Amino acid sequence: MTKTLLRALAGETLPTPPIWMMRQAGRYLPEYRATRAKAGDFLSLCYTPDLAAEVTLQPIRRYGFDGAILFADILLLPQALGADLWFVTGEGPRLSTLTGPEGLGALKGKDDIHDHLAPVYETVRILSGELPADTTLIGFAGAPWTVATYMIAGRGTPDQGPAHALRQSDPATFDALMALITEATIEYLSLQVQAGAEVVKIFDSWAGSLKDEAFTTYALKPARRIVSELKRRHPGLPVIAFPRQAGDAYVGFAKATGADCLAIDNSVSPDWAARTLQPDSCIQGNLDPRHMVTGGQPLIDETRQIVQALKAGPHVFNLGHGITPDADPDNVQVMIDTVRGG
């Protein structure tokens, strides 16, 4: 029988939705922390295939999720393009900043990224052979807008102001950067698929700061280009798109981009999603990640509400964003038991 996650992504309405979690391999798990300590630092963990595969497998062993998402980071791609990347403990990623055409000119081409990313592809190959037969392997990349915001600012920012400023003050440089990231993302995801990824997800974590025409130009159109080219190269490949905090711009996004599944954050209600989004595609989401910290009856109640709201169409149960490091692993099991047991 086809894997349940693949069935949902193909548009099938299942009696129990398949489950996985964004950032399911992460700091909330003691076994992850032990493996990361063995690696020495975050980037070494990402680039050591045996260890990256191990942390990908840990939540599958513990919880039996229906999907396993490759352990990597969206900023490995800009590093492969030539940006400097490092992580500051307790603060997160830092990159060299791109502020004009000279920075753009220093980057590599889309076809020159693969030697740097070879460990990621090896991790996918290992997972393809080691995952349980009923677990779907998910590859991923950051969407061009989100990756560009980090490359321009050198770090995460509250409003993505530096990227907005560059796209307005120097549209030629900004558009060229977006085009390079878009084409490099296609190459990156395509090699993940060749290595064994069965599904890919495009994370546009900062899509919500794009409004109106800018959303169409910098979130929707790059996603459409990536999806269409991946499906041309890999017929039948399911793609999940996540334009986080898109709000009303979620409407029509799956159909316009060709994505098979639309992941939604927890700022929109599952009832609204069932009415306005689910007729177009499978929906993934959208439990508030805070429930993984606080637990209790509210976790059970909201989990049941989401399953009930989206039961009439294809649905993949997930969080509305990534699980946080302060989450209680026991609450994850409660969530899974509630989805699967009612």
Instruction: Report, in angstroms and rounded to the nearest whole number, the Rg of the chain calculated over CA atoms.
Output: 19
Is 36 tagged catalytic?
A: yes
Residue 78's contacts (CB-CB under 8 Å, 6 or more residues apart) are: 85, 95, 147, 150, 151, 181
> Do residues 65 and 21 touch, judged by C-beta distance below 8 A?
yes
Is 73 tagged catalytic?
A: yes
Closest among 326, 238, 336, 293 to 26, alpha carbons compared: 326
Residue 267's contacts (CB-CB under 8 Å, 6 or more residues apart) are: 245, 247, 320
Largest alpha-carbon pair distance within the chain?
57
Which of the residues 28, 32, 150, 250 is marked catalytic? Answer: 150
Say how far apart CA 141 and CA 155 lie, in whole Å. Answer: 17
Say how far apart CA 16 and CA 317 lie, in whole Å. Answer: 9
Which of the residues 7, 23, 244, 290 is marked catalytic? Answer: 23
> Do residues 174 and 218 touch, judged by C-beta distance below 8 A?
no
Which of the residues 33, 62, 73, 155 is marked catalytic? Answer: 73
Which of the residues 33, 36, 155, 224 is marked catalytic? Answer: 36
Tokens of 41: 């630092």
Taking the CB of residue 247, how many other CB atoms lie within 10 A of it? 14
Is 23 tagged catalytic?
A: yes
β-pairing, 199-204 vs 136-142, is parallel
What is the sign of the dihedral through the CA atoms of 186, 224, 137 and 242? positive
Half-sphere exposure of 12 (CA within 13 A, CB side): 14
Which of the residues 27, 33, 125, 340 is marked catalytic? Answer: 27
Catalytic positions, written as ranges: 23, 27, 36, 73, 150
